[in-house]
Amino acid sequence: MRGRKATPVSRANDGADYGSLRLDRSGQAEAFDAIGDRYDEAFPHKEGQIAAGDWLIESLGPGSRVLDLGSGTGVPTARQLTEAGFELVGVDLSRRMVELAGKYVPGGTFHQLDLADLRPGGPTDLGRFDAVAAFFSLLMLPRVEIPLALRTIHHLLTPGGLFALSMVEAHVDDFAIPFLGNTIRVSGYLLDDLHKILDDAGFEIVKETSYTYAPAVADVPPEEQVFLCCRRRD
């Protein structure tokens, strides 16, 4: 499984209603702090991710504001979008990843934040975006939080805004897996279920591509990657 980006922390609130949900991020950011640069060595093939970035570039106007949720090392997506002339803001739960992204993509702005902090009425407001990219980051959340995260993304987008999402197809919830010498917890949906929660969260799917992907390390099994290009419906 992929776990490339890290994510959120928060308390209850309206909009994307986290209610009394207790957010457990233990170990997730630490794993990525420890993995650092090795992440990109382990996942050298990023064709699907780059293609999804290209879709954003083709679809957005010049100077658009784009949020990279779980920006990781910033390579390739934050770099690709910065070079396309967008105003790029990156968010990651891992301090080490935010440092690396700042180094590799000097043109972007990066914050060490939890996605949940960005919910409507949450502690951090980064403004509205023309597009959000979330490549292999939402899968780091327990399943119960994923619809809430989608609502948050919906809230962060301007009407008609674009959302590029990638996930690993699986039916698991907060499943601990070995990952590059660390352990991370991941969740996943089968495609049909993913379509449904995107629809429920107010997204229209414009394009979908899936890849079978073989990571370059033995302790990460191959996986079915799915890239979804979506638009905020209302």
Q: Is 96 helix (H, G, I), strand (E, B) or coil?
A: helix
The Cα 91–Cα 112 span in angstroms is 6
Q: How far is CA 136 from the centre of its chain?
A: 5
The Cα 145–Cα 205 span in angstroms is 20
CB of 219 to other proteins, least distance (A): 8
Of 44 and 61, CB closest to other proteins: 44
Q: How far is CA 230 from the centre of its chain?
A: 14
CB of 175 to other proteins, least distance (A): 5
User: Would strands 87-92 and 65-69 be described as parallel, antiparallel, or unpaired?
Assistant: parallel
CB of 212 to other proteins, least distance (A): 5
Of 1 and 66, CB closest to other proteins: 1
Of 144 and 214, CB closest to other proteins: 214
Of 226 and 229, CB closest to other proteins: 226
Binding site for other proteins (CB under 8 A): 1, 169-173, 175, 177, 188, 190, 192, 211-224
- 33 is written with which tokens? 């702090």
CB of 190 to other proteins, least distance (A): 6
Of 87 and 224, CB closest to other proteins: 224
CB of 1 to other proteins, least distance (A): 7
CB of 146 to other proteins, least distance (A): 14
Count of Cβ atoms closer than 10 Å to residue 63 Cβ: 9
- 88 is written with which tokens? 């790029």
Rg (CA), the chain: 16
The Cα 49–Cα 59 span in angstroms is 16
The Cα 60–Cα 101 span in angstroms is 23
Of 143 and 155, CB closest to other proteins: 143
